[in-house]
Chains A and B, each alone.
Chain A
């Protein structure tokens, strides 16, 4: 196999091997002639292993799935859970959609900005946290809610938020 121009050379070899091993299990879910269907899971895997979906990760996924880097980029830039730039060690996403805000989501968003000393969405200078608002997380009954590193926390109060963030490594 040849690497795409500007492609995978910069990625650590060990991790590329791990990517290939885990991707082969993902590919079991799709017909052999429909490998490109695995683009989202492949890019998510790349994000987990390499930190974010860089152009090199996009090129790696595209090559392994037998499709173009443009296809990988199209997907990487369309979906909010795929990060095309480096982000904090912990990703905190607060739902401020209608049902959450009717139960304090908007105030929680304010509280988190204050706690992390951020004015709006962004990352802390130490690179420990990236904070942003999320669209409806489907926790409207148990509002307000947030995702921390893709795990859901619900019925939040400032005290609970302190506990959750305090318990992170």
Chain B
């Protein structure tokens, strides 16, 4: 079976971000087709496609769309381009190399859901990607694709704007994103009500990840069933998997949703660095529970990874070879969550700092076995006790690292130092040749 590439096919082609080239490659034909369809028929195709949210939660996109109350207007669309979960680096390539594909997905989604104003909330650190999106929006507006009439054919006004964040992981959480877009600090909201009912400025709002929306033109063009056929069960299509860490060829690989994780690492990403043995894999962004080397012969499909005790999440796969220190890695992850906790809920605000401090002491050899036990206790006290998922996201790595690699933690306590010392991040710490879809980045 030849591989179907939905999202990455055009990356790296000269001028791939330009409107004329997008159109020459068949761009905006799906929007044209959607203009001839009933809005409910478009939603129906997306439901049939089994498209699930690519931001991390894997929620059924078509189902989410049906949560909009029937009779409340205006409604808004917000595209989540806040890609900030450690190990996740996929949406940036869509925005940089095929921004019109995203824009076409936005236009079709808005047409289907009777939405006339959409925002792309992009993390502040993505300057290049924000410029690419702004240029694409300006081109589409000048060409009459968006604006007062869609594709210059239908009286359907649509405005699309880029809203740049300013450095806060929490703003990738959808209700914090809305707060931020309203000009406030990113404090997550209590749910319910969910954003589809009470969202931006109190109005019904659909929030979808960049990759999710970028699939919509293909689904409309080729039909929901064709998309579903690329996957298995309740998951359709392809996904952008990002592989980073101790592999020979890190990068973004577009593969069917149910692709095998071991194959992705050992074949596509070129296997483990320096011919060393694999130690561990975080399969879906830093929040996903870690898998030991013997646990990775699994499908990356959302439910399959869940059955293996972890999460497919954002598709960000982080690989550790046998020379890496798992305590050092977890200490750094704990620092991330302590840094990024918004401070609203006490268990997360206090607990993430405690975990960071304890892990730092364990890594430095200044702790005992009782501290390792206490660390687990703190993680268990955060999980499930916070408004948003950041608390769980901070607890899950700690719980899973301790479950699978506890002897390493205890060895630090016994030796009174890190057994790996200067090579705690691995025996090879160099940039490597990288891949993003069809593109190659020589180091």
Contact = CB atoms under 8 A, between A and B. Distances in A.
Interface string B78-100: 00000111111100100000000
B237 interface: no
B184 A140 contact: no
Contact of A44 (B85, B166, B431): B166
A141 B435 contact: yes
A138 B90 CA distance: 8
Interface string B214-246: 000000000000000000000000000011111
Interface string A30-74: 110010111111011000000000000000000001010001001
B340 A135 contact: yes
B390 interface: no
A150 interface: yes
B183 A140 contact: no
Contacts of B181: 37
Given A102-B425, A135-B336, A136-B336, A37 B86 contact: no
A47 to B, nearest CB: 9
Interface string A136-154: 1111111110010011101
A151 B167 CA distance: 14
Contacts of B243: 141
Interface in B324-339: 324, 329, 332-333, 336, 339
B125 A39 contact: no
Given A102-B244, A136-B86, A143-B244, A155 B443 contact: yes
A99 B83 CA distance: 15
A82 B165 CA distance: 10
A98 B286 contact: yes
A96 B429 contact: no
A99 B320 contact: no
Q: How large is the interface on B (under 10, 10 to 19, 20 to 34, 35 or more residues)?
A: 35 or more
A42 B31 CA distance: 34
A75 interface: yes
A127 B17 CA distance: 38
Contacts of A34: 182, 201
Contacts of A112: none
B429 A136 contact: no
B370 interface: no
B183 A96 contact: no
Interface string A88-122: 00000000111101111011000000000000000
A104 B430 contact: yes
Given A141-B242, A152-B128, A41 B163 contact: yes
Interface in B421-443: 425-426, 429-432, 434-436, 441, 443
Given A29-B161, A97-B332, A107-B429, A138 B89 contact: yes
Nearest to A78: B185
A146 to B, nearest CB: 11
Interface in A153-169: 154-157
Interface in B165-185: 165-169, 180-185
B101 to A, nearest CB: 19
B126 interface: yes
A102 B183 contact: no
B163 A98 contact: no
Nearest to A150: B127
Contacts of B324: 102
A80 interface: yes
B133 interface: no
B186 interface: yes
A157 B342 CA distance: 33
B431 A102 contact: no
B184 A138 contact: no
Given A37-B183, A65-B183, A102-B320, A138 B250 contact: no
Given A102-B429, A142-B434, A143-B250, A80 B86 contact: no
Contacts of A155: 431-432, 434, 441, 443
Contacts of B251: 141-142
A62 to B, nearest CB: 10
Contacts of A156: 431
Interface of B: 83-89, 92, 117, 123-128, 161-169, 180-186, 201, 242-246, 250-252, 286, 316, 318-320, 324, 329, 332-333, 336, 339-340, 342, 425-426, 429-432, 434-436, 441, 443
Given A44-B124, A137-B125, A141-B242, 18 more contacts: A34-B182, A34-B201, A37-B163, A71-B183, A79-B124, A98-B329, A98-B336, A99-B86, A101-B429, A102-B246, A102-B329, A103-B430, A103-B431, A135-B169, A138-B88, A140-B250, A142-B434, A147-B125
12 contacts: A34-B182, A36-B183, A75-B183, A79-B186, A80-B168, A135-B339, A136-B84, A138-B126, A147-B125, A152-B126, A152-B127, A157-B430
